[in-house]
Amino acid sequence: MRPSHMREVGDATRGLAVTGVRARAFVAIGVVTIAVLWMTGCSSVPTDASVRPSAEQDPKLASVEFRLVSLGEVAWDGFTMPVVAHDGSAIAVQLDSVPDWATRLGTTDAPKRNAGIVTIHPIEPDGLGVPRSMGPDLLLGRSWIDGDGGGALVEEPQPGGARRLGVLSLADGTVQWLLEDGATNAGAWIACRNDRILMTWCRRAHGSRAWSVEQAAFERTRGAWVPCADGAGPAIAPVEGVEWSGPCLVDGVLTVIQVRDGVLRAMAFDASPARSEPAPLQGAVLSMRGTREMAWQCVSALGPTCTTGSTVLLYHPRFSRLAAWSPWSEAAPTLLPEGTTGMLGCGRHCLWSSGDRVWACLGPAPDPARRVLVAEGTWILLGAHGESALLARPRGRSLRIYRMTFAPPGSN
């Protein structure tokens, strides 16, 4: 199942496909107008767009100022969520991939060969740098490792069903393998801690259908990542009939999607290193007709899924929108505005996509009463750093990459 914001589209006919535009979006007499303040090197101008705000909306509050710059276009498999560096300095894209769910999810001991090619593009101030590609059996993971030895997390399905995990280097395009133990290792998540990384992933032994959730710590020594004897918490042991997908670990809180007897749940555990085994915290039912493909969609369609140890973002399949869930609360996941398929915090602004539109507001979360329309069409929200966000516009089997930078409130 492909989420709506990941569908392939042809050349865009709507939206802000404008290079070097600084614009103010403001509310006036019930419409949102995108007005050009200045532009350089433009062959077109933004389209006008309108929505009807709430009657009590204050025009002074419902306004944002931003600059949208096109960085270039990259080839893409039309399916896999790209991964960006936390500081916005690079983007990793699945250039090509095998259209086979069993290979993608690691549920087969006979994966398809030539699984895929991954490309890393440096992002420079004025556009995309020279890319580096590696394949033909790489699948892009869900995380990015910062600093020295950094790059995109990748997976390599091997004959017989084994799958190893590694880091595709931004510096030289080579892969350092972190884990290759003959098992199927998939869905890894990386948390960076200075010169250490903590990896959480799902593991399936050869010939088994049961999955465990594992942790391992690595440190940077003599130009390579090496395992640490400490720093990792306990594993969730495999149980027949229970599948795990999309683990995420922040501040000792492990969140992961469970499929058991057809029921899809978000589960949370205290999995800090001090514990001998994970302690259950909370669970939330997402669907009574759950599958591993649906579990993959809940997290992998979003890129990084964790915001802090107290809040998790996930795609709620029952309501077809994002939801925020607190592992410490008994409350059900809080649904974001209808149709929301992506959300980023950009400094003091919030940016979110909803169907064929992108909205922004001042504040930490989507606020329909204060939202401002900043772009139309199908967009993928990739990542944010400070007041800037990276977005992508699908164009068939390619992505047009943009940087949107918000001006501080009250700057003018």
Higher pLDDT, 400 or 56: 400
Contact 336, 324 (CB under 8 A): yes
- pLDDT at residue 10, rounded to an integer: 28
Per-residue model confidence as pLDDT tens digits over 179-188: 999 999 999 9
pLDDT band at 344 (very low <50, low <70, confident <90, very high): very high
User: What would the pLDDT profile of 192-229 be if each residue is shown by its tens digit?
Assistant: 887 899 999 999 999 999 999 999 999 999 999 999 98
> Global pTM?
0.84
pLDDT digits (tens, 9 = 90+) for 252-311: 889 999 999 999 999 999 999 999 999 999 999 999 999 999 999 998 755 444 555 568
| Span of 22-36, 254-268, 362-376 with lowest mean pLDDT | 22-36
CB 312 within 8 A of CB 324: yes
